[in-house]
Amino acid sequence: MTAEQVSAVRSFNGTQYVFKHKSSTVSCEMTFGVYVPDHTSGTKLPGLIYLSGLTCTHANVMEKGAAQGPASKLGLIFIHPDTSPRGTDVADADRYDLGQGAGFYIDASWEPWSNHFKMRSYIESELLPVVSAVVPALDTTHIGITGHSMGGHGALTLGLTRPDLFRSISAFAPIANPTECDWGRTIFGEYLGDDSKVEWKKFDASILLAAYSGPARSILIDQGTDDNFLKQGQLKPETLKSHGSAAVEVRMQPGYDHSYYFVATFMGDHIEHHHRQLIL
């Protein structure tokens, strides 16, 4: 089913769109944003998927992420989906890190979440065909993936397990080792069950990285040193180590926090990182 345009606004010599569509994967209406630089008809442009963090929708990075300028300059389509299924019939919880706004980019197998919370499948199977149907310039064979915090975890885990889909990887302040932090243990317990620690490991970037044997990847990570979630042990960037064909660069950025001021500051570098590898 074709996505319906919610809005379109000119931005940095391109158009910032918002669309919505009925998702068969997560069984509800989903919203996504996509920024498309101006291009001559028939041109194909590479794309970058940006996965947002806890509590965010598609809108946070659209308003505060400063992606449009660098994406326009280089000619890259910037795709930013929502963080979870939503709606009155979608399960939710009375906390910010579980339920709506907190899909964690995994496929939930436990009740009450398993009905809708299939964000991993949504990103890897449904999103790109839906986007390319409305943005024909998108070259779905040249796609990178990045994200912030929970979305950084999503970008790393999707990127490392689906190198056939994602040719370039980066992350901003990712939850790098969720099986060993409070957020991950709590949420994986809810979505995957407490007794399936084997299953948990499939969604842990540092574990996936240590076993990586796919095509060569150069992975850029930025992490602020004054990030409260870093101090709380939720992020653990030190667990991300180069392994085999995966080269990891973790840049500790002095004084930066976990906010979109941090994301916006380094967004240009990440877009360049992806563009360089996507045009190879």
Would you count residue 52 as binding a copy of itself (CB under 8 A)?
no
Q: Which residues of 106-126 are buried (b: 16+ CB within 10 A; e: fewer)?
A: bbbeeeebeebbbbbebbbeb
Q: How far is the CB of 175 from a copy of itself (least distance, A)?
A: 21
Is residue 110 close enough to count as binding a copy of itself by CB under 8 A?
Answer: no
Task: Name the one range near a copy of itself by CB under 8 A: 5-13, 47-55, 133-141, 230-238.
Answer: 5-13
Among 166, 200, 229, 260, binds a copy of itself (CB under 8 A): 260
Instruction: Give first-to-last CA distance, the chain, whole Å.
Output: 33
Interface pick for a copy of itself out of 128, 162, 268, 269 (rule CB under 8 A): 268
Query: Which residue is catalytic, options 58, 142, 153, 258?
Result: 258
Binding of residue 256 to a copy of itself (CB under 8 A): yes
Confirm whether 149 is a catalytic residue.
Answer: yes
Using the rule CB under 8 A, which residue among 24, 215, 228, 261 binds a copy of itself?
261
**Annotated catalytic residue 258:** yes
Task: Give the C-alpha separation, 261 to 140, whole Å.
Answer: 30
Q: Which of 11, 107, 227, 275 is catalytic?
A: 227
Tokens at residue 106, please? 């995994």
CB of residue 182 to a copy of itself, shortest distance in Å: 24
- Cα separation, 37 vs 76, in Å, equals 7
Measured CA to CA, the distance from residue 95 to residue 111 in angstroms comes to 17
* Residue 186 buriedness (CB in 10 A; 0-12 / 13-18 / 19+): middle
Contact in structure between 50 and 78 (CB atoms under 8 Å): yes
Taking the complex as a whole, the smallest distance from the CB of residue 43 to a copy of itself amounts, in Å, to 19
Phi/psi zone of residue 146: left (φ > 0), alpha (ψ -120 to 50 degrees), beta?
Answer: beta
In the region spanning residues 8 to 47, those forming contacts with a copy of itself, defined by CB under 8 A, are 9-13, 16
126 Cβ neighbours under 8 A, 6+ residues apart: 23, 24, 25
Per-residue x/- marks for a copy of itself, 199-228, CB under 8 A? Answer: -------------------------x-x--
Q: Tell me whether residue 200 or residue 266 sits nearer to a copy of itself (CB atom).
A: 266
Q: Closest separation between CB of residue 127 and a copy of itself, Å? A: 23
| Residue whose structure tokens are 């008809």 | 41
**Residue type for position 49:** I
Shortest distance (Å) from residue 267 CB to a copy of itself: 9
- Nearest distance, CB of residue 261 and a copy of itself, angstroms: 4
* Whole-number Å distance between alpha carbons of 86 and 160: 27
Quick check: is 257 catalytic? no
In the complex, the residues that contact a copy of itself under the rule CB under 8 A are 9-13, 16, 63-64, 66, 68-69, 224, 226, 253-257, 259-262, 264-265, 268
The residues assigned a catalytic role are: 149, 227, 258
